Amino acid sequence: MALNPWFELGSLAILTLILVVDVVIAFRRPHIPSTRESSLWVAFYVVLALIFAGVLWAIGDAEHAGQFVAGWLTEYSLSVDNLFVFLIIMGRFAVPRRLQQPLLMAGIIVALVLRAAFILLGAALIENFTWVFYLFGAFLVYTAWNQAFTGHEDEEQRENRLLALIRRRIHSTDEFHGTRLRVVIDGRRAWTPVIVVLISLGITDLVFALDSIPAIFGITQSAFIVFAANVFALMGLRQLYFLLGDLVERLVYLKYGIAAILAFIGVKLVLHAMHENELPFINGGQGIAWAPEIPTWASLLFIVVAMAIAIVASLIRLRLDARRGDGSGAPGDGA
């Protein structure tokens, strides 16, 4: 059952309005949000997403609502992992805390534009070439392996190399001048570090989109639901950054939960590709009847359980390390 196109257009208009208000707030009042403020905003966006899922259920059906919730949780969990890289970028350029909020907001807008392009491309590929699910599935399984067995130290080294490369290509001042991109110094115009930070955030999200977009297409083939899930996942990301802060580095088992989700969806995509198979050199171009289709409710249950286990296990690890008196342990050692 297809969703009403007027509902889709109306939803996109409302989401755009919310984003515009969020941008205005971030840029007109740059400040360091308190834990209470960040918590309230995160709760607001979570409730908003659940309300949207309820409306989807009423307008469409339980299947559409389930696809949205599963997709939103997948994108949200992947976005939490992105926060670690955001911390590296902000620390590497010594971005003042009060400027981090508007810069993150600008980075999120860039992310939405890039992801919208990826979603349109992915939808076109799926519509015309069903065998692309084989590629998406294999890529996600490979990504899951890297996610599980690559430490945060390796990510930090890669990001530092990327940031150094961007810094060499773009000459900029050492000091920030608010959120301005260019300034005049001694009669000459020069870039500020803001432009380098924005480029870094954009490239980083482009890389992460390569994982997240195929992952959510493994849950739903509706481009509208895919985009809506991405919008809701990214809308609360700025506040989540200030709420979690350095705790992201200390959730040492989070990467295993995310890896499990990516591997699960990768396998689901391959099974779907086998079920709908059109490749002539596989089963004579016919669908493979024994390949099961994993239902949306099973995907949703797996995502929730995987993230819950990873977060609870990380918090238990933190408590045990604190009792031993060695702080938070070694983040990312996977022990």
* 118, 209 Cβ separation under 8 angstroms: yes
What percentage of the chain has pLDDT greater than the value 90? Answer: 9
Q: Does any domain span residue 185?
A: yes
Residue 54: pLDDT band by 50, 70, 90 thresholds?
very high
Does residue 155 belong to any structural domain of this protein? yes
Q: Indicate whether 218 belongs to any domain.
A: yes
Q: Given the structure tokens 């905003």, which residue do they identify? A: 41
141 contact partners, CB below 8 Å, separation of at least 6: 262, 263, 266, 267, 270
| 247: its two tokens | 């705790």
Q: Does 333 fall in a domain?
A: no
Q: How many domains does the chain have?
A: 1
Q: Which domain holds residue 145?
A: 5-324
Name the token pair of 286: 């016919």
- 7 three-state secondary structure: helix
Q: Is the dihedral of CA 60, 66, 71, 73 positive or negative?
A: positive
Amino acid letter, 300: L
Q: How confident is the model at residue 324 (pLDDT cuts 50, 70, 90)?
A: confident
Does residue 334 form part of some domain? Answer: no
Q: For residue 178, is it within any domain?
A: yes
Is the pTM here over 0.85, yes or no? no
In 109-236 the beta strands, taken as DSSP E runs, fall at 182-185, 188-191
Query: 212-236 pLDDT, tens per residue?
Result: 888 888 888 888 899 899 888 888 7
- Residue 215 included in any domain: yes
Specify if 332 maps to a domain. Answer: no
Q: Give which of 12, 239, 213, 216 is closest to 114, Cα–Cα.
A: 213
